[in-house]
């Protein structure tokens, strides 16, 4: 199948066997990335003892993976739109699985960090494709529910990471944390080859925008490096990396404005919904990143939980995401995303404030569980509408790069939280491992994260349109004149729609006031 005109494009129903296979492949592929982002956290103390690694080495075991993924995810999204979402998705799974094997075999912390970096490269290739496949393949009437299932089940993978990591570390070895990706990856590759149709952006006439790709990767990598190193203070390296990142970002915008075939079409940001939903993702995932990073550590360091107990303590979030994410997508489709996003962010903030009230000696049921339940309900109300709004606000031919932008900002938000919250709470360096200082700093960090969540609620209420998910699609968007003649002829004869999103929008004109 050569492009969007291939069988299955925009026609697969969620309730069909074909739909279930496509959803399973997309969810399992993305789940490997989300699981790996959290499963390693619980294993870090054991890795440090086994490989004689210091704090810096352990930080880079986490951050090297996230840095590579965040820096290259825009490139992965562009490649998937150009060369085929299924093809780049499969390539990403293969790279990720190979790197996982290298992580499991690493004899030193340096080699482990290098293998984690390669894991991030694989994740950057497969992450945008997993969501873009859903957007391109499913029937418009089923897309929001499919995205809800994808977001909810994927979030479950991230949420159960601490539990899985704790069990494997205690019962087997920290190396098993990486080995679990091998059988899962093999299954995903085989299922994708057999069951997932190929789709791509038929309007992309050129290859990869190399200058744009290089500048985007440099900008994101430099900013991420500065955030990671900021825990050591405002050093010359942090200042230089920040300056390099900002300069590369400015150059990227200038280059993309003039490029014939830009990697990131800047007209996407003419849609206020696209820009607002991505900003909302940045703020929301910053709050979430603080919980993922600090809560499990707080339970172990201050409350005395084992690795397995700390991981299992977060299971209520997993259950709530599994139960509520798909219904939240259906509710957002019915009444609009503004109210679910606002209420979800408010609940998440309330849950974070409850976490700030947990003190040494508190028991799980009366003190810890209520905060997790409130936070989990809020999170389940947020994830699906954010993702659905991002994709509904652009033409589906841009789904790969739109997904990549959303993923890059989500990862950047989490990295900001990992860098900034310990600084704000006075938990840098050795203070992080001190039970008393963790007990004093954790409430501060959760209060700051709650503030970010409340800011997200305000942003959602004031900027997100209630009809963005329900605008009728015509499926008859005229073929742009710049399309290759062969594509124009095919669309004219076969009536193939070029924009299958709920909000198709010709790229040759800016959005109207209502559309914005």
Full DSSP string of 262-287: -SS-GGGGGSHHHHHHHHHHHHHHHH
CA separation (Å) from 400 to 50, 128, 149, 394? Answer: 40, 6, 18, 11
Q: Which two tokens stand for residue 209?
A: 């925008």
Spell out the domains of the chain, with CATH numbers in brackets: 17-208+263-494 (1.20.1250.20), 209-262 (no CATH)
Tokens of 361: 């000696």
* CA 80 and chain centroid, separation: 16
Residue 203 has a pLDDT of 67
Strand, helix or coil at 501?
coil
- Check: CB of residue 312 under 8 Å from CB of residue 368: no
Say if residue 322 is exposed, middle or buried (CB neighbours under 10 Å; 0-12, 13-18, 19+). middle
What does the alpha-carbon distance between residue 204 and residue 298 come to, in Å, rounded to a whole number? Answer: 48
Both tokens assigned to 221:
């990598």
DSSP assignment of 352-395 = HHHHTT--TT--IIIIIHHHHHHHHHHHHHHHHHHHHHHHHTS-
Q: Which residues contact 379 (CB under 8 A, 6 or more apart)?
A: 155, 288, 317, 320, 321, 344, 348
Contact call for residues 122 and 99 (beta carbons, < 8 A): yes
Task: Report how far residue 321's alpha carbon sits from residue 326's, in angstroms, rounded to the nearest whole number.
Answer: 9
Q: Which helix (H) or strand (E) holds 13?
A: none
Q: What is the largest CA-CA distance in the chain?
A: 72
CA distance 263 to 251: 14
Segments in 106-180 forming alpha helices (H): 109-137, 143-171, 176-179
pLDDT along the chain (516 residues), means of 10: 46 83 89 76 80 77 81 82 88 95 93 93 87 82 78 69 76 87 93 89 70 85 78 80 92 86 79 87 80 82 83 81 80 88 94 93 91 92 84 72 76 75 76 84 91 91 83 38 35 29 34 38
pLDDT at residue 287, rounded to an integer? 79
- Report CA-CA distances (Å) from 304 to 359, 391, 435: 12, 43, 9
Give me the torsion for CA of 336, 342, 347, 349, rounded to 10°.
150
Structure tokens at 494: 């076969």
Phi, psi dihedral angles at 174 (to 5 degrees): -65, -25
Q: What span, in angstroms and rounded, lies between the C-alpha atoms of 203 and 207?
A: 12
pLDDT score for 230: 72
pLDDT value at residue 10: 63
């Amino acid at each position: 199948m050569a492009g969007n005109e291939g069988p299955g494009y925009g026609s697969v129903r969620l309730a069909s066997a074909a739909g279930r296979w496509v959803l399973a492949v997309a969810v399992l592929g993305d789940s490997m990335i989300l699981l790996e982002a959290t499963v390693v956290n619980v294993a870090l103390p054991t890795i440090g003892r086994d490989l004689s690694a210091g704090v810096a080495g352990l930080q880079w075991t986490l951050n090297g993976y996230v840095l590579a993924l965040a820096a290259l995810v825009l490139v992965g999204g562009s490649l998937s739109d150009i060369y085929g979402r299924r093809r780049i998705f499969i390539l990403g799974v293969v790279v990720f699985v190979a790197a996982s094997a290298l992580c499991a075999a690493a004899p030193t912390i340096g080699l482990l960090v290098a293998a984690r970096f390669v894991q991030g490269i694989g994740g950057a290739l497969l992450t945008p494709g997993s969501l873009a496949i859903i957007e391109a393949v499913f029937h418009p009437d089923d897309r929001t529910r499919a995205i809800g299932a994808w977001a909810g089940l994927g979030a479950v993978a991230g949420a159960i990471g601490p539990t899985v990591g704790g069990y494997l570390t205690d019962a087997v070895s920290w190396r098993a944390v990486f080995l679990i990706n091998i059988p899962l990856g093999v299954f995903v590759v085989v299922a994708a080859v057999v069951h997932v149709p190929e789709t791509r952006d038929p309007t992309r006439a050129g290859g990869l925008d190399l200058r744009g790709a290089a500048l985007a990767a440099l900008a994101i990598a430099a900013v991420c490096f500065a955030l990671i190193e900021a825990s050591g203070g405002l050093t010359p390296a942090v200042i230089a990396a920040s300056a390099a990142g900002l300069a590369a970002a400015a150059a990227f915008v200038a280059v993309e404005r003039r490029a014939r075939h830009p990697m990131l079409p800047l007209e996407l940001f003419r849609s206020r919904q696209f820009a607002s939903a991505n900003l909302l993702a940045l703020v929301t995932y910053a709050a979430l990143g603080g919980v993922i990073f600090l809560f499990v550590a707080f339970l172990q360091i201050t409350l005395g939980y084992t690795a397995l107990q700390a991981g299992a303590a977060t299971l209520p979030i997993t259950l709530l995401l599994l139960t509520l994410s798909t219904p939240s997508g259906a509710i957002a489709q019915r009444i609009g995303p503004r109210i679910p996003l606002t209420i979800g962010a408010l609940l998440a903030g309330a849950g974070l404030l409850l976490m700030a009230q947990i003190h040494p000696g508190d028991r799980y049921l009366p003190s810890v569980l209520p905060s997790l339940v409130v936070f989990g309900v809020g999170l389940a109300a947020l994830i699906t509408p954010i993702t659905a709004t991002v994709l509904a606000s652009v033409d589906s031919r841009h789904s790969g790069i739109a997904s990549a932008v959303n993923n890059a900002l989500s990862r950047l938000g989490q990295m900001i939280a990992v860098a900034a919250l310990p600084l704000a709470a006075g938990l840098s360096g050795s203070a992080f491992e001190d039970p008393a200082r963790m007990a004093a700093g954790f409430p501060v960090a959760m209060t700051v994260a709650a503030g970010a969540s409340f800011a997200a609620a305000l942003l959602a209420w004031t900027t997100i349109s209630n009809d963005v998910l329900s605008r009728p699609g015509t499926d008859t968007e005229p073929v742009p004149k710049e399309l290759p003649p062969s594509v124009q002829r095919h669309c004219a004869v076969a009536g193939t729609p070029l924009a299958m999103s709920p909000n198709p929008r010709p790229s040759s004109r800016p959005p109207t006031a209502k559309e914005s």
